[in-house]
Structure 1
Amino acid sequence: MELVERLRAASERTQSALGAQLTLPAVEWDVPWRAAEMISTLTHACIDRLRRTPDSAVVEANQLCDLILGLQQLAMDWYLHDTAMRGQRLADCAAGLSRLRGLPSTTSLVENACEELVLRCGFHRAVLSKVESRSWKPLILHDRGDSTEASWFSEWINQRVPLSATAPEAEMLSRRRPSLVYDTANAPVYRPLIVAAGQSRSYVVAPLVLGDDVIGFLHTDHHPLPRRVDEADRDVLWAFADGFSHIYERATLVERLRTQRDSVRELFFGAVDKIDQLCESGAESARGYEDTSAESGCGATRPVELTDREAEVLDLMVTGATNQAIADQLVITEGTVKSHVKHILRKYGAVNRAQAIAWALRDR
């Protein structure tokens, strides 16, 4: 606010000293991101007048020199302020990416990306979209304002938005660089969504890259504030989109590795179970095991010999565990559990699980 007031005063003082109404860049005083351009215009106007000032006009020349020095000091202060603010936003961006890096899946990454952009990176709204062929589909919106303000977005979720050749989004498919749209009224944007529904006056969009492909977009703006986006917004969004792309790619690879690990584990334990079954079948043949249940009609009359794995399965059966629960507990397949249950029933001469459990408890 102090810099804004100094800029106002410098502009009035310079134009008064020059006795002319200068054509200055349009500055929105809530966030005067074109302040540097205005200071440069005022400075060059003073320098031009100083060159045309006669040597005898010492007072006027001194006044112009004072104005030029004051404008240069103001330009330096604006630069330091902008640099500090940009550095702080980039630090907050890094903190947001660090939190996302700890999420467990790609799904949770997608669900939290827009929230981090809004809460940490200084934007008011953020939208994540996915790219499909020559179109993009909005997926998630996070709005800092009232949730009712985001009701318009529900009608556009997963709706196909065409990528015209002149659209800022289409340009990113080849350039893979963010685009800054300062005024949507004069830009070739998709107006039904961005202007009519979203009411965006100005926005920044950055690509999400996976490998060699652009898989999505991040759109951000400051709606409903009158503030327009600027180069700092573009740089912050670019840093976030680039970091998010790397995190998402890493999470995708980790998920694939986990899937392959589970498949290998399933094959390994399945092979071990098969070997156990073959060994058990050989042991039973060697002992010449005979089923006595048909003769007695009331279950086994002598202690039943179970393998270690069958004993583990039976212990869990007694607790009432299902085949799937037993498989999870013993880290084997459900089919292997069924095979063990079948062997247990046969050894006890039982017709169902309940009968086998009853006779097992009796023996104990």
Structure 2
Amino acid sequence: MADAPHPDEITTDTELDRAIADVLTEMRVADPSRSTELGRRLVDLLDRRNAADANRTADIGTVAAGIDRAVRALDDASSSAELMRRACERVAELCSAKRVVLSRLDGDRIIPVTWFSADPGTMPSPPAEFDIVDGSPEAEALATNTVSVGPDVPVALQELLGVNGFTTAPVVVGGAAAALVHVSSPLDDTRRRALGVFVEVLGGCFERVGLESRRERQNALLHDSARRWAGDTDVDTAPPRGASELAPAQTDPDAAEQPLLDPLTDREADVVRLVLTGASNSAIAEELVITVDTVKSHVKRILRKTGATNRAELIARYQSGTR
């Protein structure tokens, strides 16, 4: 059997495991003098293994702390643009990468929208959009919803990412890939897993920001309708919170100037907001963490207060702003 390689000649964990196995196998049949030499070599290899394990543990701890910092940086992003900018910065830190590109998906097109460079003084021109190529790392990442590594950087991104390989990961929003992150280097297993965790959280953050944006638009619609019902044309004033932003309809023209004696409660206002989206009673119950029977009771009171005979009429009144 050929001599096992010296520990200094070993560069990978696989080679190290193989060398240890070879030494153990040879020791079973070696004479005493040879066994002594093999024993010393085995000690060297095991020391190398212990050191590698310790380094790996420390590296995993560093990456885990990086994931925590990266996720916390996304918490208070108030818009998709702010979220994308922060995401690129945090990915660069998490992956020890010099440059990161975040692109949105439009069918089979990849459209870069935000990017980060550790050296902004040498920032190239904005990258052009490009097609998803069959069999490419991008196609693989999208097909499997996993992180993928490739040796050949897409031409459109070479000025930004360089040409020495890259890593890409899909950002899944609402169950479908909506974006791709490109990192300017092939990542090792630990950092690929870290990137996978981060983009999963990022997808959830995009859902949150999108939901908050939709709610703001819905609340603005409700506020505008309520102001029109009250005869106030100044709809640019910031809407008050709670019951005052959802005034009940005035069905009697002569009562237009009368004060509202029975306004909607905060919870009823929440129910109306969801009714206007077309949500079912069960969906409203899940969103507000209440029972379906409670939702039904709220809807009955809302219909009574607004003078609407059913949900369809309620929705029509709010959308048209009529009394």
Common fold: TM-score over 0.5: yes
CA contact (8 A) 1:93 1:117 kept: no
Structure-2 separation of matches of 1:92 and 1:58: 51
CA contact (8 A) 1:167 1:190 kept: no
CA contact (8 A) 2:171 2:200 kept: yes
Give the counterpart letter for 1:39 in structure 2: L
Identity of aligned residues (%): 17
Is the partner of 2:237 in helix, strand or coil? Answer: helix
1:108 corresponding residue in structure 2: 82
1:161 aligns with 2:130: yes
Give the counterpart letter for 2:156 in structure 1: L
Q: 1:166 to 1:64 in 2, by over 3 A?
A: same
Q: How many residues in Structure 1 have an aligned counterpart in Structure 2? A: 239
1:39 aligns with 2:16: yes
1:171 corresponding residue in structure 2: 140
1:149 aligns with 2:122: yes
2:169 corresponding residue in structure 1: 206
1:242 corresponding residue in structure 2: 200
1:193 aligns with 2:102: no
- Structure number with the higher helix fraction is 1
Q: Displacement of 1:72 after TM fit?
A: 2.3
1:261 aligns with 2:235: no
Q: 1:45 to 1:330 in 2, by over 3 A?
A: closer
Q: Displacement of 1:327 after TM fit?
A: 5.0
Over 4 Å off, 4+ runs: 19-22, 194-197, 329-332
CA contact (8 A) 1:143 1:150 kept: yes
1:98 corresponding residue in structure 2: 72
Larger radius of gyration: 1
1:217 corresponding residue in structure 2: 180
Is the partner of 1:103 in helix, strand or coil? Answer: coil
Is the partner of 2:231 in helix, strand or coil? Answer: helix
Q: Displacement of 1:87 after TM fit?
A: 2.3
CA contact (8 A) 2:149 2:168 kept: yes
RMSD: 2.9
Matches within 5 A, 1:1-364: 18=3, 27=11, 35-53=12-30, 57-144=31-118, 146-151=119-124, 154-156=125-127, 159-181=128-150, 184=151, 189=152, 191-195=154-158, 198-222=161-185, 229-273=187-231, 327-328=236-237
Is the partner of 2:77 in helix, strand or coil? Answer: coil
Structure-2 separation of matches of 1:112 and 1:68: 48
The answer for unaligned runs of 5 or more in structure 2 is 245-323
The answer for unaligned runs of 5 or more in structure 1 is 1-14, 28-34, 223-227, 275-322, 333-364
TM-score for the superposition, normalised by structure 1:
0.59
Is the partner of 2:16 in helix, strand or coil? Answer: helix
Q: Deviations over 1:80-114 (max 9, x none)?
A: 22122122212222222112111111221012210
Q: Displacement of 1:120 after TM fit?
A: 4.6
CA contact (8 A) 1:210 1:245 kept: yes
TM-score for the superposition, normalised by structure 2:
0.65
Structure-2 separation of matches of 1:203 and 1:104: 30
Is the partner of 1:273 in helix, strand or coil? Answer: coil
Structure-2 separation of matches of 1:48 and 1:102: 58
Q: Displacement of 1:21 after TM fit?
A: 8.8
Q: Displacement of 1:69 after TM fit?
A: 3.3
Give the counterpart letter for 1:268 in structure 2: A
Structure-1 separation of matches of 2:58 and 2:4: 36
Q: Deviations over 1:276-331 (max 9, x none)?
A: xxxxxxxxxxxxxxxxxxxxxxxxxxxxxxxxxxxxxxxxxxxxxxx97x953798
CA contact (8 A) 2:141 2:170 kept: yes
